[in-house]
Amino acid sequence: MEKHHQDVLERNRSILCSDLDLSLVVDHLIQEEFLSPEEKERICASRSRSEKTGELLSMLYAHEDGFGAFVESLKSTHRHLYEMLISESETHLTDDTEVEVLKTELKQKNILLSKFRPMPWLPQHQMRLANVYTKLQLVSSVSFQDPRQMDRDQQLSLDNLFAPHELSSDPKRILVEGEAGIGKTTLLQMLVSKWNEGSCGGECGAPCVHCFDLLFNLHAKDFIGHTSIPDVIKSCLLARDSEISAETLDAILQTHKVVLVVDAYDEGNMENKLLYDVIEGRVLKDATVILSCRPAFLNFRFFDSIFVVHGFDEEHQIEYMDKFAHEMNLSPNSLVELQQKMSNELQDLCRNPFILTILCILCSENSQLPSTLAAVYKAVHEFFIEKASRKTSRDKDDIKRTVIFPLAKLSFEIYNKEKQLTEEDFVDICCSPQEACQIGYLSVDETVGSLQNTTRCYRFGHRSLQEFLATIHLGKMAAGERLAWLQSKNVYQIDTIVIFLFGQLNDKDLASIAAVIMENMRFQPLNFSKLSIYSCSQSHLVLHCLNELVGRDISDGLKSVLAENCPLRVHISRDCSISCIQGVSLICSLIKKKNSVCLTFDLDATKDFVPLMKQLKRCECISSVQLNNPKDRIKFNDYLRALQWVTLAKIGSDHHPSRLQNLFRAIASCKRITALTFADMQINDALMPSICEMVESLEDLRDLTL
């Protein structure tokens, strides 16, 4: 089938899936000997209506006259579809030359994305993206599967982003969400590079980025100040002397299959009406839009598909580190310490590609490896200042006073302002943009602008670097002013800054804001009972903050504030990190009120909870402990031995009855239990002797709920 006929069918896939009576069409095609009975069986074997339609279209694409035969089969039974497809096929008379010229310009622009700058502050170090790109863990909101529980060949990849699913046969609005530095931008950059390569030849096996005639790669800020998509494209993507008019662009957008790849909505979400309209389908409703964003900024109801980026698993961490070391010509010996700590105290940090890159560089510089998020960025900060001091022969304190502090003030002032940094922004401060670029925090923005835009623009190497600088300025603000700013913000939209504050402020300053911050944090989602996977990403922000204080000598005043505002119910899930566990440990050491804290553990997690459970024996604040999913009998016995001090316990499980006898025997060793509850278990008469034996062993047991 000719490509333009394929494009007509693909553009109308959604309406074909909803309106097509496959039995009438397939029978007609068999009568005309265009399909065989065996092919009909293959179509019928597909589960959903969209899959059946997709199977039929795939068969049609393989035939030279597949379009004509299909349209003819619609003539008598699906007149509206017949007329729609005939009409669109005739509009192919649009000038393909202009489309090819546009595609060439876009691909030339995208060539820059084949180069990867892993360290924005070192622009001289560029690598081929294909040489270092490492698969990221993606989880779809449709499946709710934890990527750590999936085989590597089951995990989602770039090829799955556009695939239909049970909730949408033709996803048009796709969200890629993830925390700072987790790899969202690089993932989209790789997607653009794949489109640039041309057709995949069917290797992707599903609707993929190669299905689109045109791809427009944009930043969320690019839409601000514009009233039409052609205007955005001409201003941000096309050469200044491009002869493609806005009218031509508009016609192409309406008649061709296009995808808009939009990065960093969280950086361009204010006063961005055009982008709002695109997301909500009021503009380019038939185009596909894939958008990246940090959590807590977008309403999910506008999206057909939602993917969450979880960063690297352990195998991919090692794979990326090896690729990076090879490209940077780093000595394997320089990364030995990092390799040793990747599965222990640095496990959480190494999941994040941007932070793993920083740790690799720090290793190569023989720097001491930090173990908390704030400490990582402080190490980068000191790295910048040390390099600048050597390069300029200036005193470090002088660099801080004349460059860092003014730049920190500027970064705070433009935070959440959707504007480019220009030389005018530096007029009122003693730091020049050139000095900021030399330090490493800024780089020249190389985006091609419109003919009228001749102003040189600058950008921070990474949003999190700007947030670290903003935190430095917050630390220098008057206490009342700092508190007022924090009270005006949604803590989940400034989560990185909040964590940095816990890691940077002195005890007195932190005590003055901790209560305000912590009282605005949720400690579990409202619909917690309905979740198949409990996510700690937002519910445990307070634990990530407290982790910044582990090992620090905290004043009595700060201890008192933290104890009064700590959560009394904490759920440690399979999704939790080491920082969560350390945060729980700190909470239990701070709270002095007896029998006030309830803990829940998901025992199918990859983390080892035994050290924490043993440590909690010294804490009188524990009221009860709930253990969910005790599937591994050996590990469960280890946990119960560590919890022999527990008096109130709840066991949640989907255990098979044949394995419950071992469970009851293990529980019998916890002699101090006074109340015991079993949830979600099928208890039958055959298990009663084992239950009675367990109860007899628990001499202090006063309350048993089955």
* Domain of residue 124, CATH code: 3.40.50.300
Which structural domain range is residue 274 located in?
97-311
How many residues are there in the chain?
706
For residue 258, the model assigns a pLDDT of 95
Q: Report the 10 Å Cβ neighbour count for 243.
A: 9
Alpha carbon dihedral 395, 400, 402, 403, in 10-degree steps, equals: 120
In a domain, 426, yes or no: no
**Residues 222 and 110 both lie in one domain:** yes
**Residues 139 and 88 both lie in one domain:** no
What is the β-pairing status of strands 442-444 and 457-460?
Answer: antiparallel
For residue 605, the model assigns a pLDDT of 62
The whole-angstrom separation of Cα 588 and Cα 605 is 21
For residue 609, the model assigns a pLDDT of 84
The whole-angstrom separation of Cα 604 and Cα 607 is 9
For residue 393, the model assigns a pLDDT of 84
In a domain, 197, yes or no: yes
**Is residue 588 within 8 Å of residue 567, measured between CB atoms?**
no
**Residues 19 and 80 both lie in one domain:** yes
Q: Cβ neighbours of residue 65 under 8 Å, at least 6 residues apart?
A: 1
Q: Which of 411, 437, 439, 435 is nearest to 425 (CA)?
A: 411
Edge-to-edge strands, sheet with 442-444: 421-422, 457-460, 442-444
What phi and psi, each to the nearest 5 degrees, are found at residue 236? Answer: -110, -20
In a domain, 501, yes or no: no
In a domain, 572, yes or no: no
**Quick one: tokens of 312?**
């690297």
Q: Tell me the pLDDT tens digit for each residue of 503-532.
A: 999 999 999 999 888 887 755 443 333 333
* Partners of 308 in the β-ladder: 139, 177
- The list of the chain residues with pLDDT below 70 reads 90-95, 119-125, 141-155, 200-206, 366, 418-419, 445-455, 522-539, 575, 604-607, 653-659, 680
**Residues 285 and 345 both lie in one domain:** no
Average pLDDT, the chain: 82
The whole-angstrom separation of Cα 206 and Cα 392 is 54
**Residues 12 and 107 both lie in one domain:** no
Examine the fold and report which residue of 93, 120, 144 is the final residue of a domain before the chain moves on.
Answer: 93
**Residues 66 and 106 both lie in one domain:** no
**Residues 70 and 174 both lie in one domain:** no
In a domain, 299, yes or no: yes
For residue 529, the model assigns a pLDDT of 37
**Residues 211 and 146 both lie in one domain:** yes
Examine the fold and report which residue of 338, 353, 371 is the final residue of a domain before the chain moves on.
Answer: 371
Q: Tell me the pLDDT tens digit for each residue of 550-594.
A: 888 999 999 999 999 888 888 887 767 788 888 889 998 899 888
In a domain, 552, yes or no: no
Q: Which of 356, 403, 398 is nearest to 380 (CA)?
A: 356
In a domain, 68, yes or no: yes
One DSSP character per residue, 151-216 reads -TTTS--GGGTT--BTTBSS--EEEEE--TTSSHHHHHHHHHHHHHT---TTTT-SS-GGG-SEEE
Examine the fold and report which residue of 354, 371, 388 is the final residue of a domain before the chain moves on.
Answer: 371
Name the domain count of the chain.
4
User: DSSP 3-state assignment of 233?
Assistant: helix
For residue 369, the model assigns a pLDDT of 83
**Is residue 336 within 8 Å of residue 151, measured between CB atoms?**
no
**Residues 28 and 120 both lie in one domain:** no
Q: Report the 10 Å Cβ neighbour count for 680.
A: 11
In a domain, 150, yes or no: yes
**Is residue 520 within 8 Å of residue 494, measured between CB atoms?**
no
For residue 173, the model assigns a pLDDT of 95
Give the C-alpha distances (Å, rounded to integers) separating 586 from 240, 459, 547, 582, 592.
58, 38, 8, 6, 12
CATH number, domain at 679?
A: 3.40.50
The whole-angstrom separation of Cα 644 and Cα 697 is 13
CATH number, domain at 8?
A: 1.10.533.10
**Residues 281 and 348 both lie in one domain:** no
The whole-angstrom separation of Cα 421 and Cα 441 is 12
**Residues 326 and 216 both lie in one domain:** no
The whole-angstrom separation of Cα 256 and Cα 279 is 19
The whole-angstrom separation of Cα 542 and Cα 518 is 7
**Residues 22 and 140 both lie in one domain:** no
Give long-range contacts, CB 8 A cutoff, 24+ apart: 86-91.
88/8, 88/11, 88/12, 89/4, 89/5, 89/8, 91/255
The whole-angstrom separation of Cα 44 and Cα 56 is 10
Q: Which of 531, 526, 699 is nearest to 628 (CA)?
A: 531
Radius of gyration of the chain (CA): 29
Record the pTM: 0.70
